[in-house]
Chain A
Amino acid sequence: MTAFSAMIALAPQARDADLVGRGGGRAAIRLLIWTALWATVLRNIGGSVGAWAEGSLGVGVTFLIAVAIPVWLFVVFPSWLAFRFAAPRGMRRLALAACWMSPLVRLRDLPSIAAFFDAAVDSPFRLAPWGELPADTWTALASALQADRRRAPAHAARIVDALAHLPAGARFPWLARVHGVETLVLSAVARRDWPAVARYARLGQGRLVVLLAMVARAARGDDVPAFELWIAWLRAPMRRALLPIVRTAVAQGQAVVTADVPPRARATIHARHVAMLEAAARHEELRTDDVMALAAAWQPAVDDAALAALHARALELGVRDGGARAQALREQVLDELALLLARADGELPRAPAHPFADTLAARAREGEIARIKASLAAFDADAVGPSLPPLAAWERWLALRAAWERAEQTAGRAALATLWRTGVRDRLWSYCCAVSHSHGTRAAWAAHMMFDWLADRAEVAGDLVAVLANRENARIALASLR
C-alpha cells in the first residue's frame, strides 16, 4: 500500500455541516430559543423580585438573585434535570429535552446521549439503530454499559481502557465523565464487583464516582480513613441508597462488602493456582510478577522427580502411558499459567530465573502472537461498509489493540516489528481507511484513535512512512470532529 492510497480525505461536509448545513440551522434555532426563554425567565425574576423588594436588597442578595441563580438555572439545571431526575425515572423525552436545553451538551451528541439513555434503562436503541449512530464517547459508554450488564467484563474492560487512553484532542465530554461513567460504575456496584468499580471509576469525575472509588479501594484492602469516606458520602448524591455500602465499608475497615466473597486460599501451590484463576475470572488485576512467582512455586511440583513419582502412581493405578500422562499434567499447568500471564499486567523478566519460567515465557509469547494473528482475520477492508457500524468497527479494533499491547509486554520488539511488517500494517491500515471512508464524520472519533495508535506502533517498528501517513490521517480525522 502506498502512503497516498492510505490517506483519507477531509470530508468537506465535516466543517460546513455545523456552520451552514442542517446542523448549523438547528444550532441557530437552539440558540434563539435559549436566548428567548432565558431572557424571559431573567426578566420575570428581575421584575418580580425587584417589585417585591423595592430596592431593599443588599449587594450580595442582588448578585445571588440576578446572577448566580440564573447562571445555575441556565448552565447546570438542565443537565441535572436530565441525568439526575428524568433519566433515572425512565422519562426519556424529558431527559432529552433537558439535554437539548443544556449549554453543556453539543447538538450532535444528542443521538448518542439518547442511545446512552436507552442502554441505561436496558432497552434497544430507539432513536437510531447502531448503524446510524456515530462512534463517540457516549455510544462507547453505552456499549460498555451493555457489556457490563451482559456479563462480558473483558469487552467492557477493553472499552474502558481505550477511553482511559484517548489520544490528545479526542473528546470526552464532561457530562459523560460525570454521568455516563457514574451509570457504568453503579452497574458494577449493583453486583458488588469492586475491581470493576475501581477500573471504571478511573474514567470519571464527580462526587458519586469519587465516593464509589474510595469504597472500591477499601474493598481492595487499601487504608481508607472512615472520616474521608463519610465526608465523601455526605457530598455525594444517592446518599440513602449508598448508606449501607458506606456503613459496611467503614464498619469492616479493610474487608468491605465481602460477604459473598469466599476466603482466599494460600496454603498450597494448587490452591494458590486456583485462587489466581478465580482472580482472573473476576477480572481483578493480576501482576506478571505474581504469576511468575506462582510459576517458580510450581517448578518443584512439576520437575522430573515429581513427574517420576506421578508416573509410579500411574503404574499403581494401571494407567497406560503413565509417563505421557504425567507430562500432560505439566503441560496443562504451563498452559494455565500462560493464560494467566496473558491477563497479567507488567513486563516479563528479561532473564527468567529458572527453566520452567523460561518455557512459560516462551509459551506466553507464542500465545500472544497467535492471538494477534487470529484477530487479524476480522480486519478485511473490503468487508467494511454500511453493514459494519462505526462503533462495531472500533470495538473490533479494540480486541487487536488489547492483544498487541499485551504482546508488547511479552513478545519483544523484534517479534512485533516482524509481525507489523508482514501482516498487521497493511491490513489494519486499509481497514482504518475503509472505516473512515465508509462512515465519514460518524467514524471520525474512532478513526482518530485508530490512526493515532497505528502511528505510535509504526514508530516503535521504525516504519517512518506509516508514521507520517497515519499522523496525517489522525490529524484529518480530528479536524473533521471540530
Chain B
Amino acid sequence: MTDADDVENLMRERLANPFLVLAVAPSASAAEIERQGQRLLAELAAGLDGARRYETPLGMRERTSELVRSAIAELRDPARRLGHEWWARGLAAAVAV
C-alpha cells in the first residue's frame, strides 16, 4: 500500500465518523444514538432523499444503510466511542461553522 492509499483511507475514515454519519452531537446518549440510527435506517429504506447524504467539513457525503449500521455498532463500544467522540468534537464544530 502506498502513502497515497494510506492518506486516502485515513481521510475516508475521518469523514465517516459515526457522529457525522448519524448527525448526532458527540455528547448524545446511547439511547439517542440508537434512536437516530433506527430513524435514519427507516428513512433510507423508504428512499428519502434527505437521508442519503450527510454533512462533513469537506462537503456532503453519501450515507448508506451499511454506513449507518456500522456507525451504530462503533458507538456501542465505549473505547471506540471515546476516539470517535474526540474527533467528532472538532469535526462537528467545523460543520456547524
Residues B79 and A269 in contact, CB atoms below 8 Å apart: no
Decide yes or no: A310 and B82 within 8 Å by CB, A277-B7, A281-B8 being known contacts: yes
Q: Considering only CB atoms, which chain A residue lies closest to B81 in the complex?
A: A317
Number of interface residues of B (CB under 8 A): 29
Beta-carbon contact of B58 and A264 below 8 Å:
yes
Q: Measured between alpha carbons, how far is A89 from B85 in the docked complex, in Å?
A: 55
- Nearest CB to that of B12 among chain A residues? A281
Whether A319 and B90, one on each chain, are in contact in the complex, defined by CB atoms closer than 8 angstroms, is: no
CB pair B4–A278 under 8 Å, yes or no, is no
A339–B58 contact, CB under 8 A?
no
**Interface 1/0s, chain A 258-291, versus B by CB < 8 A?**
0000111101111101110110110100000000
Nearest A residue to B96 via CB reads: A267
Given A262-B59, A275-B58, A268 and B7 contact (CB-CB distance below 8 Å)? no
A271 CB contacts on chain B under 8 angstroms: 57, 90-91, 93-94
Complexed CA–CA distance, A56 and B25 (Å)? 89
- What 0/1 readout, one digit per residue, does chain B (2-41) give for beta carbons within 8 Å of chain A? 1110111011001100000000000000000000000000
With A and B bound together, what is the CA distance between A154 and B4 in angstroms?
7
Please name all residues of chain A whose beta carbon is closer than 8 Å to the beta carbon of B58 when the two chains form the complex: 262-265, 274-275, 278
Cα A329 to Cα B83 in complex, Å, equals: 7
How far is it, in angstroms, between the C-alpha of A153 and the C-alpha of B81 when the chains are bound?
Answer: 34
User: Chain B residues near A144 (CB, 8 Å)?
Assistant: none
Contact A275 B79 (CB under 8 A): no
Task: Give A318's nearest chain B residue, CB to CB.
Answer: B78
Q: How far is the CA of A314 from the CA of B60 in the complex (A)?
A: 30
A322 to B82 CA separation, bound complex (whole angstroms) = 9
Interface residue? A350 (CB, 8 A): no
**In the complex the two chains form, what is the Cα distance from A155 to B4 in whole Å?**
10
A273: chain B residues within 8 A (beta carbon): 14, 90
Whole-angstrom CA separation of A310 from B86 in the bound complex: 8
Do residues B57 and A265 form an inter-chain contact, with CB atoms below 8 A? yes
| 0/1 interface trace, chain B 64-80, chain A, CB 8 Å (1 if under) | 00000000000000110
Question: Given the complex, which residues of B lie within 8 Å of A153, measured CB to CB?
Answer: 4
> Which of B56, B60, B85 interacts with A313 by CB under 8 Å?
B85
A318 to B80, CA, bound (A): 12
B54 at the interface (CB under 8 A from A): no
Contact residues in A for B15 (Cβ distance below 8 Å): 274
Q: Whole-angstrom distance between the alpha carbons of A273 and B57 in the complex?
A: 11
Which B residues lie within 8 Å of A152 (CB)? Answer: 2
**Nearest CB of chain B from residue A310's CB, rounded to whole Å:** 6
Contact A270 B3 (CB under 8 A): no
Contact A274 B91, CB 8 Å, known A281-B7, A340-B7: yes
Cβ contacts A12-35/B at 8 Å (1 or 0 each): 000000000000000000000000
Q: Does A343 contact B (CB under 8 A)?
A: yes
Interface contact A263-B59, CB-CB below 8 Å: yes
Query: Once bound together, how far apart are the Cα atoms of A289 and B89, in whole Å?
Result: 26
The 8 Å CB contact of B6, one of A155, A263, A339, is A339
CB distance from B4 to the nearest CB of A (A): 4
Check if A342 is an interface residue, CB within 8 A of chain B. yes
CB < 8 Å neighbour of A283 from B4, B11, B56, B90: B4
CA distance A320 to B86 in the complex (A): 16
CB pair A280 B57 closer than 8 Å: no
**Chain A CB within 10 A, most for which of B56, B59, B90:** B90
For residue A262, which residue of chain B has the nearest CB? B59
Chain A residues contacting B90 (CB-CB under 8 Å) are 268-271, 273, 301
Cross-chain contact of A319 among B4, B14, B82, B91 (Cβ < 8 A): B82
Q: Does B48 contact A (CB under 8 A)?
A: no
**Within the assembled complex, what's the spacing in Å between the Cα atoms of A319 and B76?**
12
Knowing A268-B90, A339-B10 are in contact, say whether A320-B3 is a contact too (CB < 8 A). no
CA distance A277 to B82 in the complex (A): 22
Q: Which residues of the other chain, A, contact B60 by a CB distance below 8 angstroms?
A: 262
Chain B neighbourhood of A247, CB < 8 A:
none
Inter-subunit contact B79/A320 (CB<8 Å):
yes
Pairwise interchain contact B93-A267, C-beta atoms closer than 8 A: yes
**With a CB–CB cut-off of 8 A, which chain B residues contact A328?**
83
Task: Give complex CA distance A329, B84 in Å.
Answer: 10
B97 at the interface (CB under 8 A from A): yes
Chain A residues positioned under 8 Å from B2 (CB to CB): 152, 154-155
Chain A residues whose CB sits within 8 angstroms of the CB of B97 once the complex forms: 265, 267-268
Give chain A residues whose Cβ lies under 8 Å from the Cβ of B85: 313
Residue A303 interfacial (CB < 8 Å): no
Contact of A223 with B by CB under 8 A: no
Q: Which residue of A lies closest to B11 (CB)?
A: A277
Whether B94 lies near A265 (C-beta < 8 A) is yes
Binding site for B on A (CB under 8 A): 152-155, 262-265, 267-271, 273-275, 277-278, 280-281, 283, 301, 310, 313-314, 317-320, 322, 325, 328-329, 332, 336, 339-340, 342-343
A-B contact pairs, 27 of them (CB 8 A): A155-B2, A262-B56, A262-B58, A262-B59, A262-B60, A264-B58, A265-B94, A267-B97, A268-B93, A268-B97, A271-B90, A271-B91, A273-B90, A274-B56, A277-B11, A277-B14, A280-B7, A281-B7, A283-B4, A310-B86, A314-B82, A319-B78, A319-B79, A322-B82, A325-B79, A339-B10, A343-B3
Sorted nearest first, the 10 A-B pairs with minimum C-beta distance are: A270-B90, A262-B59, A271-B94, A265-B57, A271-B57, A281-B8, A267-B97, A277-B11, A317-B78, A267-B94
